[in-house]
């Protein structure tokens, strides 16, 4: 498996501001994803972070609100822009390690960033 860290682990922000969350992996990975998990809910995929190109966003999520960078195979950032209280959530990055077979590939999650917007 991969070791994944996220920064910050938690933050409390004022509405209208932006927060950038970092995800660092200890090895090169094929795929990186960003998820949101609102209180009491399951995970919702925000986007796939593509190395060297624009992220692929899911329905309901747009680049202006959630810009994503992935400059290399071990690092990605997610920015939550112009925040409102509805953005209060846990944000998780996940990775699929490189070199695994299709039948056993899976993803591993970072510890998450707990965001509260006042």
> Shortest approach of another protein to residue 69 CB, angstroms?
20
Give the residue with the Cβ less far from another protein, 53 or 103. Answer: 103
Give the residue with the Cβ less far from another protein, 65 or 114. Answer: 114
> Shortest approach of another protein to residue 79 CB, angstroms?
20
Give the residue with the Cβ less far from another protein, 14 or 104. Answer: 104
Unique residue bearing structure tokens 């899911």: 58
> Shortest approach of another protein to residue 35 CB, angstroms?
8
Provide the b/e sequence for 35-53 (b: ≥16 CB within 10 Å). Answer: bbeeeeeeeeebbebebee
Burial class (CB in 10 A: 0-12, 13-18, 19+), 112: middle
For residues 93 and 2, the answer to whether their CB atoms sit within 8 Å is: no
Q: Using CA atoms, how far apart are residues 27 and 43, in angstroms rounded to an integer?
A: 24
- Residue 53 contacts by C-beta under 8 Å, 6 or more apart in sequence? none
Site residues (CB under 8 A) for another protein?
31, 33, 41-43, 45, 48, 92, 94, 102-112, 114
Give the residue with the Cβ less far from another protein, 81 or 88. Answer: 88
> Shortest approach of another protein to residue 26 CB, angstroms?
16
């Amino acid at each position: 498996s991969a070791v994944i860290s996220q920064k910050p682990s938690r933050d409390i922000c004022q509405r209208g501001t932006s927060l950038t969350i970092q995800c660092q992996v200890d090895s090169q990975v094929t795929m990186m994803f960003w998820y949101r998990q609102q209180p009491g809910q399951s995970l919702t995929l925000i986007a796939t972070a593509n190395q060297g190109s624009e992220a692929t966003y899911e329905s309901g999520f747009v680049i202006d609100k959630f810009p994503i960078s992935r400059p290399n195979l071990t690092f990605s950032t997610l920015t939550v822009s112009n925040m409102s209280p509805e953005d209060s959530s846990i944000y998780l990055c996940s990775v699929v390690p490189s070199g695994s077979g299709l039948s056993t590939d899976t993803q591993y999650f970072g510890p998450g960033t707990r965001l509260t917007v006042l």
